Amino acid sequence: EVQLLESGGGLVQPGGSLRLSCAASGFTFSSYGMSWVRQAPGKGLEWVSGIRGSDGSTYYADSVKGRFTISRDNSKNTLYLQMNSLRVEDMAVYYCAKGTVGATPMDVWGKGTTVTVSS
Amino acid sequence: DIVITQSPLSLPVTPGEPASISCRSSQSLLHADGYTYLDWYMQKPGQSPQLLIFMASNRASGVPDRFSGSGSGTDFTLKISRVEAEDVGVYYCMQALQTPLTFGGGTKVEIK
């Protein structure tokens, strides 16, 4: 069964850092692009970042560029999102999804991990 | 960035009746490879989003055939031929042509 399991969310003060992880199973992780998508409380979906499987190219939303870093460890079948300089507006449920820009739709999603930014 | 506009915001539906959601993009989603990169997602209450339609008109694995996607260029439509109670939730269209990927604001489908 194809599965994605996020972890690493929690409560952090403004200006703080967190690293999210997404453990993948049931498919050849290294062959697929991956994405992080977030949803603020009561709001819609916002794509945050993506990374290609083929060459590891990375992409970011303007709202997180320079503060967040996406990476992957294909030997561990794990996707990461390093989040620095966190702001109140980054507070959201963060979903990991299999797929990214182009011909790889986001066809598998994790259950999400909650990031709370508050003093 | 490509702006995606969905309508309506809310869609009350009667079970057994058809429903339709519109999605418009600020620029054509037709890629040079001939494919149109517009996807539809559904988020049931309390759940993660799930893929319904990819590349404008292709149903994802396991999606009932009462769901269909159509359109080209900048105008797209998601249709449910006969709404069922389990179809309630928020529907999003998203362009996957270029980064940043962008979603529409969502359409909340609820039973009358």
* B5 strand-pairing partners: B24
Find the chain B residues whose C-beta atoms sit closer than 8 A to any C-beta of A: 1, 31, 33, 35, 37, 39, 41, 43, 48-51, 54-55, 60-61, 90, 92, 94, 96-106
Distance CA B9, CA B46 (A): 19
Burial degree of A33 (CB within 10 A; 0-12, 13-18, 19+): buried
Contact: B49, A47; criterion CB under 8 Å: no
Residues of chain A with Cβ-Cβ distance to B33 below 8 Å are 103
Amino acid at A60: Y
Hey, what's the torsion of the CAs at A96, A100, A106, A107, to 10 degrees?
-100
Instruction: Give the model's pLDDT for residue A102.
Output: 75
Q: How far apart are CA B63 and CA B59, in angstroms?
A: 6
What pLDDT does A42 receive?
96
Measured between CA atoms, the residue of chain A closest to residue B39 is A105
Name beta bridge partners: A89. Answer: none
pLDDT, tens digit (0-9, with 9 covering 90-100), for B35-91: 999 999 999 999 999 999 999 999 999 999 999 999 999 999 999 999 999 999 999
Nearest to B39 by CA among B3, B91, B82: B91
- pLDDT tens-digit readout, B5-44: 999 999 999 999 999 999 999 999 999 999 999 999 999 9
pLDDT category, A101, cuts 50, 70, 90?
confident
- Tens-digit pLDDT profile for residues A46-71: 999 999 987 899 999 999 999 999 99
Residue B98's pLDDT is 94
Residue A54: what pLDDT?
79
Mutation test of the interface with chain A: which of B30, B101, B102, choosing the one with the most A Cβ atoms within 10 A? B101
Q: A with B: how many residue pairs have Cβ under 8 Å apart?
A: 69
Which residue's entry shows tokens 């993506």? A50
Check residue A51 and give its pLDDT: 96
B62 Cβ contact list (under 8 Å, min separation 6): none
Contact (CB, 8 A) for A53 and A39: no
Write b or e for each residue in A88-109: b if 16 or more Cβ atoms lie within 10 A of its Cβ, otherwise e: eebbbbbbbbbbbbbebbbbbb
Residue A98: pLDDT band with limits 50, 70, 90: very high
C-alpha to C-alpha distance for A54 and B92, rounded to whole angstroms: 27
